[in-house]
Amino acid sequence: MNVPAPDRPAPRTEVEATLRCERPRPVPLFLPAIYEHKAAFIGSTPTAISRDGDLLTRAMLAEYAAIQPDALVVGVDVYNVEAEAVGSIVTFYEGKDTSIPGIKPEHHIVEVGMDLSAARLPNPARDGRMPVNLAAARAVRKELGDDFWLRGAVSGPFSLAISLVGAESLFIACIEQPEWVRSCLDYASRIIREFAKGYIDAGVELIMFDSQASPELLSPSMYEEFVLPVTQEFVAWAKTQGVRDLPLIIGGNTTKIVDMLVQTGANNLLCDFTADFEEWSGAVRSAGRAFRRNISPRLLEKAPAEEIYEVARREVERGRDIPGFIMGTAVVPFGTPTPSIRAVKQACLDAARS
């Protein structure tokens, strides 16, 4: 097939056609997972850009210029923002320290058994760093226009619950106090909806991250019992808000839960680099769901660009004729050389020439 392969982002109509599995694209969409690495594009740090809307805007526009991805994500330390907005304490790093902000165990604010029916909900216009992300979302939307697919990061319900409660406490509660866990996930979902409303009002799409619900951490039976129902409810709610295309990102080897992931209602799912491509592609193809295939972050960080290109090219060849196939990366480590990321995009561009 000999068709043009321009090095510029796909227009919204092409992105939507892929997400809705209307047809394979000659050039697969390229969606690298760039969060803390955004700071490297402007010589800054994850802490600095995560607390300053102007810096985050500059970093995102620099990412756009350097990589030309088919979408951008508004978000740096994507699992902390909602928890911080309702009272959790995030540890930041000053100076040139490029560590990623995070919530320390002693700073979780919800105790198992706590009545959460009237617990605090955030105001995205003023609480925590929600205003930082929303300001950047508006600024980048204004700069790049409505034809570019721009997504605001929200936590998934289980991952937010872990940020609020702590992993060990929540996992034990799943066994000993399942009804309370359901109430906690309901609270998490209510928090996420408030943040999501802010993004929707800012004119951007949504993307949900829930990697703490991966089978590598949570058993498939627990995913089905606790996480699937609340995720389905969120996706259904998002549709009532006009959100038609919602990616759900759960990293790790999710092959054991792929059949449940297609039941969430999210129409863009993640087949991470450790997941079984054949089983995944069969499941999502039957369900009419788009999926992103990742390559390893260690490969991006350590391998030469030529090797990265060859690995990406093999993945592109496996998926290029599948409606809804997207090429991506696992989370790009801070400081990854730009040519290493661009090598993955080049593999996508070259697919149209073969």
How many Cα neighbours within 13 Å face the side chain of 180? 17
Cβ within 8 Å of residue 106, ≥6 positions away:
none
More confident residue, 278 or 6: 278
Residue 13 resides in a domain: no
Query: For tokens 């959460």, what's the residue?
Result: 116
pLDDT tier at 283, thresholds 50, 70, 90: very high
For 188, counting Cβ atoms within 10 Å of its Cβ (0-12 exposed, 13-18 middle, 19+ buried), the class is buried
Residue 12 resides in a domain: no
- The CATH number of the domain holding residue 253 is 3.20.20.210
Cβ within 8 Å of residue 273, ≥6 positions away:
293, 294, 295, 296, 330
What's the confidence (pLDDT) of residue 183? 98
Residue 257, pLDDT above cutoff 60: yes
Residue 4, pLDDT above cutoff 70: no
- Mean pLDDT, residues 304-329 taken together: 96
Residue 6 resides in a domain: no
pTM, rounded to two decimals: 0.95
Domains: count for the chain: 1
Residue 29 resides in a domain: yes
pLDDT tier at 354, thresholds 50, 70, 90: low
* Mean pLDDT lowest among 6-10, 22-26, 286-290, 295-299: 6-10
Residue 147 resides in a domain: yes
What's the confidence (pLDDT) of residue 2? 35
What's the confidence (pLDDT) of residue 104? 86
Residue 190 resides in a domain: yes
Residue 98, pLDDT above cutoff 50: yes
Q: What percent of the chain has pLDDT over 90?
A: 94
What's the confidence (pLDDT) of residue 145? 96
pLDDT tier at 8, thresholds 50, 70, 90: confident
Q: What is the mean pLDDT of the chain?
A: 95
Residue 8 resides in a domain: no
pLDDT tier at 106, thresholds 50, 70, 90: confident
Residue 264 resides in a domain: yes
What's the confidence (pLDDT) of residue 315? 97
For 332-350, write each residue's pLDDT tens digit.
Answer: 999 999 999 999 999 999 9
Residues in the chain, overall count: 354
Task: Give me the domain span that covers residue 88.
Answer: 23-351
pLDDT tier at 1, thresholds 50, 70, 90: very low
- The distance in angstroms from the start CA to the end CA of the chain is 6
